[in-house]
Amino acid sequence: MTTSTTTSTGPAARTVTIATGMGITISEFGTNTDGSAVLYLHGGAGPRTMLGLAGALAEHAYGIVPTHPGFDGTPRPERFDTVADLADAYLDLLDELDLSGVMVVGSSLGGWIGAEMALRDNRGRIGALVLVNAVGIKAANGEQVVDVRKLAPPQISELSFANAAFRPDFASFTGEQKAVGAANQATMAVYGGEGFTYDPKLRRRLHRIAIPALVVWGEQDGVAPLGYGRDFAAALGNGHFAPIADAGHFPQIEQIGATLGAIGTFVETVVKPDEA
């Protein structure tokens, strides 16, 4: 069951009702021609951080950008409050849309959700995983994710972007924009739980993810350092690592060309080498 809406600033959005009765708002890119797709999962900054990547790949793959319940003013059901809840909901979404061979691309919190989806995928919906400066683990080394809950938005922005030109001008934000941003951060804190950016048990389970997995990492990330990313890749059962120069926490924004290149090489050499 779906209901549709349109916007003047982006792709048409619709709400898909999954098996539990919950509605998930999604934006779609490209055309579903063969039942496969790319699922783009955003982090704490909201779905807009994935729109450029989804748009760039729209000619090559049908793409879906969901809005995590509670973000950008969408409703979050009571007791729907963990990353595991999100992972289960998005697997239900893939079932509802009858998609297979799905590549899940997750940024930051979205990467954590993607990893949990891969661990729970007992119907074989997911074919590959791309984690972009993901959070979710307690690294084995000393490099951990910065707890940004007590930092002001400009401080978070400075840590997140290597190039100052990409940092939002918060002074120009309207009251409504500021309210949405604050609400998104509060929602992220709910999903993050006690550890906020990690599940202490996740890292030791990652070896069970046997599907091809690429960890893309902005080398100058001040939120989740490079060593953390390398450790994430090493913990995966079939992990590959691609550092992106001159980028911080959002390489898909600061260095979209290099990010697309890394994903393309991964697909050609690891996911579908026989089709290259």
Nearest to 66 by CA among 22, 132, 101: 22
- What is the reported pLDDT for 276? 59
H helices of the chain, where? 48-56, 83-97, 109-120, 153-160, 175-192, 226-235, 251-254, 256-266
Q: What are the angstrom distances between the C-alpha of 208 and each of 226, 236, 272?
A: 23, 7, 21
Which of the residues in the chain have pLDDT under 70?
Answer: 1-10, 276
The CATH number of the domain holding residue 241 is 3.40.50.1820
How far apart are the C-alpha atoms of 272 and 276, rounded to whole Å? Answer: 7
How many domains does the chain divide into?
Answer: 1
| Residue 39 main-chain phi, psi, to 5 deg | -105, 115
Q: Which of left, alpha, beta for 72 (phi over 0: left; psi -120 to 50: alpha)?
A: left
**Domain with 9 in it:** 2-275
Residue keyed to tokens 């999962």: 41
116 by DSSP, 3-state: which? helix
Give the contacts of 109 (CB within 8 A, at least 6 positions apart).
Answer: 41, 42, 43, 44, 68, 83, 135, 136, 188, 191, 192
- What is the reported pLDDT for 184? 95
Residue keyed to tokens 């910065």: 146
- What is the reported pLDDT for 48? 96
Calculate ∠ Cα 97-102-104, nearest 5°. 110
pTM of the model: 0.95
- What is the reported pLDDT for 4? 45
